[in-house]
Structure 1
Amino acid sequence: MARRLLRRGEARGEIVIPAVPGMLDEYVQMCSKVFATVGSPFTPEQLAHLRTALESQLTQAYQATQRSDIIISWHTPVGTALNYHIQPRAKTIAETYDDWIATREPPLFGTQPDARVWDLASEATDPKQFSILDIGAGTGRNALALARRGHPVDVVEVNEKFVDMIRQEASRERLRMGLIQRDVFATSTEDLDDDYDLILLSEVVPEFRTADQLRTLFQLASDCLAPGGRLVFNTFMAAHNYTPDESVIQLGEQMYSRIFTYAEMAAAVADFPLEQVSDDSVYDYESTHLPEGGWPPTGWYPEWVTGQDVFALPRELCPIDMRWLVYRKQA
């Protein structure tokens, strides 16, 4: 009677889920369970066909952008037949942050500058003689605070709305800042100086996709830092005894958490005149050094920087961790 009841019903639905090709088995299993629940269990042959279709669309979506989904829509007319359709949906990083601006309550990334960045800049005896390049400045929480302290600050940011936010605030406070809207890694560095004392990238490298992009970053730092100048950025690093597989890398990208190994980082910086001078846990450093009321910067920040957006595990068991890495340009 239950089977007959389902045959007389009609159902339709849609599943929107991040595109992670390495987790294909999970997608097939999910669809199989959902379809069986509404009275349309698949045969092995039907599941094989579903798997092939999913694999193709997952690969297409993931290759287009790390901020991609697949949409699985399905409909069961009267009876046991089920019709389904799979399509990819890609979104650029810029479009993603446009959505953040439109739908999320500010502050998007917190109100305080990063403690690690602030402490490095604070080592300067005269801020006016300590120039800074902020790459991927976002809403400007680092750049604006540093400019208020007196540092000459240049900002490179790809998102037009973020640039407008920074420009308006800098103009209102009459701050000395250079603003450049572009992808700093897509063109030459001719519009940048070659003697910055500090180059910073906060929450930017987790958007990288390849180790080649790391080398591009180290090349830029080599070209644009003054001798003795430092490069600081945060990124997700795999534990020394752990090598993430492709599914982990892919899911990490979807969670704003591109993961690199220490071997990849060492290979990327090789042959550049940069020496690593520190490696600190972002969670430990920021929670300890941010001023009172500054921790956490946002509600999602603690779990994100400890890898728990990728692994549903307690912090001490996560095999990845966001680290502050600092490099000094040799003379």
Structure 2
Amino acid sequence: MPVSESPQDIAPVTDTSRLKLALQEKLKRGININGEFHLPCVPSMLDDYLKLLSDFLKLVGQNLGNPETENLKTLLGNALAAGFKQSPHATLIVSYFPANSQTGLSGGITIDTKIQVQSMADKYHSWPQIRPEPLFGSYPDAKVMEIVAELGEPKQSPILDVGAGPGRNSLPLARLGHPVDAIELTPIFAEKLSATATAENLPVTVTQGDVLDPLLRMKTYRYKLAIATEVLSHFRHPEQVRLFLGKMSDSVLSGGFILFSTFLAVEGYEPDDMAKQMSEQSWSYLITKQELETAIEGLPLEIISNESVIEYEQKHLPKAAWPPTTWFISWASGRDLFPIQETPPIELRWILVKRF
């Protein structure tokens, strides 16, 4: 009968390369990693984020096959879309940790996702703690004051200030004698404006709310001028521009004016999805000239002027007031969105509209 070999009779492995692989595998069982990626919820960045995570997983010894890659892509795509729908300031937090803590990296890695959303009001609420005063500048906008000078008797020239902030325009206008109705989304700014107006006994009425909210009712056919400075930069859709202009046209008297600032794309530049989405994320929501014309079409409004905010304000503000803040020029020039040395293809513009 043949005699089976005992374990002692099997030749030991002495191949150092093979033994090294075994030791590396043993070592992987003792390695545990965990951490997070914080990714802005920009859906058009899906492929970039997928490559980032795939490369990272490969670095730690996790090579994804086609099915795993597709599953990860679906997971990321759904989460990015859901987060962006909630807010352009949403963040996708991708967590990674061992699937089994006892087997470390050799047992694979689990990926988990969650969406973190901070509202615009929440972001502005923290500004007084992280940005120096004055938050938006010490002087009113020169363009606003130029138009106001042509309105006539202040007491007979009520003004609507949308996105009034802490009152950079509302308070000087009220001090001239204009009745001012101010709408402000951020509670901390609305409270500050109201407190200052009350302390100075100024004709300012403050409403805390979102101008795009259908439930926010405004007085109709009352104002000689409606202003919205640095407001449309927070919008998200051309339909919101249309809604805003519709509500303004209902509020302004025939012959009155609407002044607003908005980021316009230059002629010849057609923003793609990535630029559009990141403009929302950068508080630089951009529209094209065609989108602006479409938003106004059919309304009793006519564009009177279209001017560079930087050029106009730099020319007409007192030297001590320019720039209004340390961040203004970078933002208004479009470099917050496109951080390039050359001239970006967008710019903040003053749009003056007359109601007929």
> Shared fold by TM > 0.5?
yes
Shift, 1:204, TM fit: 0.7
1:141 Cα shift?
A: 0.7
Structure number with greater Rg is 2
Gaps (5+ residues) in structure 1?
Answer: none
- Deviation of 1:207 after TM superposition, in Å, equals 1.2
Aligned residue in 2 for 1:319:
345
Matched, 1:151 2:173: no
Partner of residue 240 from structure 1, selected from 261, 264, 267: 267
| 1:62 corresponding residue in structure 2 | 84
- Structure 1 CA distance for aligned equivalents of residues 47 and 61 of structure 2: 21
Greater shift in the superposed pair: 217-226 or 249-258: 217-226
Aligned 8 A contact 1:306 1:315 in 2 = no
5+ long unaligned stretches in structure 2: 1-19
Aligned twin of 1:49: 71
How far the C-alpha of 1:193 sits from its partner, in A, is 4.7
Partner deviation per Cα, 1:184-226 (whole Å, 9 max, x = no partner): 3323675425231110001111111122212222212221112
**Letter of the structure 1 residue corresponding to residue 97 of structure 2:** H
Q: Which structure exhibits the higher relative contact order, with contacts defined as CA atoms closer than 8 Å and separated by 6 or more residues?
A: 1
Confirm whether residue 273 of structure 1 aligns to residue 300 of structure 2.
yes
Letter in 1 for 2:78: S
Task: Supply the AA of the counterpart residue of 1:54.
Answer: L
Q: Name the residue aligned to 2:14.
A: none
- For 2:54, which of 12, 32, 37 is the aligned residue? 32
| Pick aligned residue for 1:202 from 229, 239, 247 | 229
- Report the residue type matching 1:26 in the other structure: D
1:231 equivalent to 2:258? Answer: yes
Q: Judge which range, 229-238 or 125-134, deviates more.
A: 125-134
Distance 1:131 1:209 in 2: 29
Contact 1:154 1:178 in 2 (8 A): yes
Match of 2:44 in 1: 22
Given that residues 42 and 88 in structure 2 are in contact (C-alpha distance below 8 angstroms), is that contact kept between their aligned partners in structure 1? no
Question: What one-letter code is carried by the residue in structure 2 that aligns with 1:117?
Answer: V
TM-score by length of 2: 0.85
Q: Where does residue 88 of structure 1 map in the other structure? A: 115
C-alpha spacing 1:295/1:43, structure 2 compared with 1 (3 Å): farther
CA distances 1:119-176 after superposition (whole Å, capped 9, x unpaired):
2212334333322100111111111121122222110112222111001111222211
Residue 132 (structure 1) aligns with: 159
Pick from 244, 247, 254 the counterpart of residue 220 of structure 1.
247
- Deviating more after overlay: 296-305 vs 246-255: 296-305
Which of 69, 79, 98 is the equivalent residue of 2:105?
79
Q: Which residue in 1 is equivalent to 2:200?
A: 173
Q: Secondary structure at the match of 1:235?
A: strand
Which has the larger displacement, 232-241 or 155-164? 155-164
Compute the displacement of 1:295 (Å): 1.8
Q: 1:307 aligns with which of 314, 334, 339?
A: 334
Q: Report the Cα offset of residue 87 of structure 1.
A: 1.3
Residue 67 of structure 1, CA deviation: 2.3
**1:238-294 deviations in whole A, cap 9, x for unaligned?**
112111112211111011111111111111101111111111112222222221222
Q: CA deviation digits over 1:35-67, x for unaligned, max 9?
A: 344444544443322211100100011111222
Which of 288, 296, 316 is 2:323 aligned to? 296
Q: Distance in 1 between matches of 2:96 and 2:216?
A: 49
Q: Contact 1:71–1:88 at 8 Å: present in 2 too?
A: yes
Greater CA drift, 90-99 or 18-27: 90-99
Contact 1:143–1:153 (Cα < 8 Å) also in 2 = yes
Compared CA separation, residues 282 and 168, structure 1 to 2 (3 A): same
Tell me: CA distance 1:114–1:35, structure 2 relative to 1, closer, same or farther (3 Å).
farther
1:132·1:151 contact (CA, 8 Å) conserved in 2?
yes
Percent of paired sites with the same residue: 34
For 2:16, the equivalent position in structure 1 comes to none
Q: Separation in 1 of the partners of 2:181 and 2:338? A: 36
* Equivalences, count: 329
The secondary structure found in structure 2 opposite 1:213 is helix
- How far is 1:324 from its partner? 0.9
Aligned to 2:11: none
Preserved CA contact (<8 Å) 1:218 1:268: yes
Counterpart code for 1:320: I
